[in-house]
Amino acid sequence: MIKIKIAVCIKQVPGTTEIKIDPETNTLVRQGIENIVNPFDTYAVEEAVSLKERLEADESFGEEVEVAVISMGPPQAEEILKEAIAVGADKAILLSDRAFAGADTWATAATLSMALEKLGDVKLIIFGKQTLDGDTGQVGPELAHKMNIPFIGYVSAVEEISNKNIKVKRLAEENYEIIEVRMPAAISVGKDINNPRVPSLRGKMKAKKEEIPVWTVKELEADPEEVGLAGSYTQVVKIFTPRIVHDVKMIEGTPEEMVEELFGNLKELNVV
Amino acid sequence: MHYLLTEEQQMIVDICRQIVDEKVKPVRAELDESKEFPWDAIKEIARGDLFRLFIEEKYEGMGTGIFEVCLATEELSRGDLSVATSYAASGLGLIPINVGGSDDQKKRFLPQLASGEKLAAFGLTEAEAGSDAGSIRTTALRDGDHYIINGTKQWITNGGEADIYTIFAMTNPEKGARGASAIVVEKGTPGFEFGKQEDKLGIRASATRELIFTDCRVPAENLLGREGMGFLIAMKTFDESRPAVGAQAVGVAQGALEEALEYSKVRKQFGSTISSFQAIQHMLADMATSVEAARALVYHTARVIDSGAKDVSRLSAMSKTFASDIAMKVTTDAVQILAGYGYMKEYPVEKMMRDAKITQIYEGTNQIQRNVIALDLIKKGVI
């Protein structure tokens, strides 16, 4: 029996939208902030698991489907891979090596594509549409470019899937688009695509026992110049919070005078 | 608080808590209003493997015990008692198969109940047979290799929604209580129909219907145990299921306590939060203490049953009675702390108070439970 693979690329992010930056070191303050799976990635995992269930329930399809989840990050990113196992992913791989540190979106896409090639026979790659921390939404399209496969962003429904093609619906500015591409292909998804499930007891017990393989530069047979900081075209040289200066001006006089002056001030500021 | 849970038991609690927070709390008020059966939550519970807690590993279950069932039931009840009742009622419907079924019957029925693909229901009560279960009039008379069932069961939880019904009927009406038998009837069997959905004070989203049997022919192989063993099977079932009613009561009380505590910390009167007033503090302290006492009794009972102890009727009745009386008191006090707001449907505590009432009534009223406790005391002494 042929086995088709669906891969999901996920990332561990700080569990907050209010990121604080240490003004001394210009780095993210990670203390006291719990790491979570990037929220959009939970929809990507759910979509992969429900596609697996959908395909395996279809007798005309007749193939086994394997959901593999991949994350690049520090050793503690293993936690989010275990969470993916608990909700039904078949296997997980952690890409972790000091050489991967400092990667921009391009070097991340390069590393992920090497892992996907090592995995082999991947028909569909699913991403969350963007991350909570980096927010770029670039890794998916860059990876598709590197692997020379089609990419469809912001998918809101998988209309049809066979072992050759995938037909998806996505919301454009003012209309829905239905797009069909051959596989292998990559897609990114947002919150409108599904309703992620709660982990099962069997899943949690499997996740607890699961030994998650760690792939380093060695396993990927990667050229160290193509990954991490060395493989990055961009580099964050400084992160800072803009200083917000509050300027208060008290306006006095009769209501008419105050309105007149306020209107004049707003006009000067080009607000009205 | 420490409850000495194993890692697996903590997982059960975490899964239920996530189901409650993500899938139950957002819809509970709406379901209470519409009386719509909570299928989405039930499917999530099924997918979470929680129905497997009732069943042995051999039949696709998790092979856990009553204690694990109580943990799941308590957490679900903390969110919504309609959901928890529908869950626990499937357990109540399948326990007779656990205690009285043959290996073949277990293989036939349990795996699909373990996966939650199908729900079960328990049919004993009739219009004239409530606490006096011995006076049931539904008959199941043998005709070749079938039983022909006639009669009407009343207020059956999961009625209409479940696929597998364990019903109790007279196979030998002259023998009275010794003539009752337990028989599994599947939905869709000709001659088996449902009455209307009842309009209830609480647990409104749970299904409560009549089961109407008119010359309903059921294969004789659906009989659990032997003819005449019906009440024995029912009593054994209740011994195992009563702690779960206690767990429902603890859960709904816990939910109400949490709401009252949160509210007391934000509601301001006379310039300060009402949690700074001793009158409120003492109410909260009493509520928390009684919930903890009820939980301790329910957990103890469940662990005793799981240890394999045989003589558990008294303890089982105590846990159901004590916890459900506490639930009524605590939910009523929660409404009192929220006061005018508590009486309004915009806040969840009035619903918890309406829901809690059923725990004093179903699976044997608390008066019947006290009879069980007292008779056992008088017969066997205090220890």
Walk me through the domains of chain B, giving residue ranges and CATH numbers: 7-118 (1.10.540.10), 121-227 (2.40.110.10), 231-380 (1.20.140.10)
Residue B207 has pLDDT above 70, yes or no: yes
Q: Amino acid identity of B360?
A: Q
Closest-CA residue of A relative to B8 is: A205
**Which segment of A62-76, A115-129, A174-188, A231-245 scores lowest on mean pLDDT?**
A231-245
B-contacting residues of A 124-153, CB under 8 Å?
Answer: none
Rounded Cα distance, B294 and B225, in Å: 35
Mean pLDDT, rounded, for B238-252: 96
pLDDT band at A45 (very low <50, low <70, confident <90, very high): very high
The mean predicted confidence, pLDDT, of chain B is: 96
E strand or H helix at B8 = helix B7-19
B363 is catalytic: yes
Instruction: Give the gap in angstroms from C-alpha B263 to the nearest C-alpha of chain A.
Output: 26
Rounded Cα distance, A2 and B163, in Å: 37
| DSSP conformational letter for B161 | T
Tokens 């009192």 sit on residue: B336
Which residues of B are less than 8 Å from A207 in CB distance?
A: none
ipTM: 0.89
Which residues of A are less than 8 Å from B11 in CB distance?
A: 201, 204-205
Instruction: Give the gap in angstroms from C-alpha A189 to the nearest C-alpha of chain B.
Output: 20
**Residue B204 DSSP SS3:** coil
* Confidence (pLDDT) at A26: 65
CB B369 within 8 A of CB B314: no
pTM of the model: 0.88
Asked if A198 and B47 come within 8 Å (Cβ–Cβ), the reply is yes
Q: Which of B7, B48, B52 lies nearest to residue A198, judging by beta carbons?
A: B48
* Residue range A92-113, pLDDT digits in tens: 999 999 999 888 999 999 999 9
Kindly tell me the sign of the dihedral angle through the C-alpha atoms of A49, A55, A57, A63.
negative
B19 in contact with A, Cβ within 8 Å: yes
| DSSP conformational letter for B22 | I
| Residue B361: partners with Cβ closer than 8 Å, 6 or more residues away | none
A57 in contact with B, Cβ within 8 Å: no
B9 in contact with A, Cβ within 8 Å: no
Asked if B52 and A198 come within 8 Å (Cβ–Cβ), the reply is no
* Confidence (pLDDT) at A243: 79
pLDDT band at A171 (very low <50, low <70, confident <90, very high): confident
A200 in contact with B, Cβ within 8 Å: yes
Rounded Cα distance, A117 and A132, in Å: 27
| DSSP conformational letter for B178 | G
Domain A3-231 of CATH type 3.40.50.620: yes
* Confidence (pLDDT) at A173: 84
pLDDT band at A17 (very low <50, low <70, confident <90, very high): low
Instruction: Give the gap in angstroms from C-alpha A211 to the nearest C-alpha of chain B.
Output: 18
Instruction: Give the gap in angstroms from C-alpha B112 to the nearest C-alpha of chain A.
Output: 16
Q: Does residue A242 have a cis peptide bond before it, meaning omega lies within 30 degrees of 0?
A: no
Query: Which of B5, B9, B11 is the best substitution to test chain A (most A C-beta atoms within 10 A)?
Result: B11
Q: Which of A168-177, A245-254, A263-272, B346-355 has the highest mean pLDDT?
A: B346-355
Mean pLDDT, rounded, for B76-88: 98
CA distances (Å), origin A67, targets A48, A49, A64, A119, A135:
6, 7, 10, 11, 25
| DSSP conformational letter for B340 | H
* Residue range B11-55, pLDDT digits in tens: 999 999 999 999 999 999 999 999 999 999 999 999 999 999 999
Which residues of A are less than 8 Å from B17 in CB distance?
A: none
CB A136 within 8 A of CB A13: no
* Residue range B88-137, pLDDT digits in tens: 999 999 999 999 999 999 999 999 999 999 999 999 999 999 888 889 99
Asked if A202 and B49 come within 8 Å (Cβ–Cβ), the reply is yes
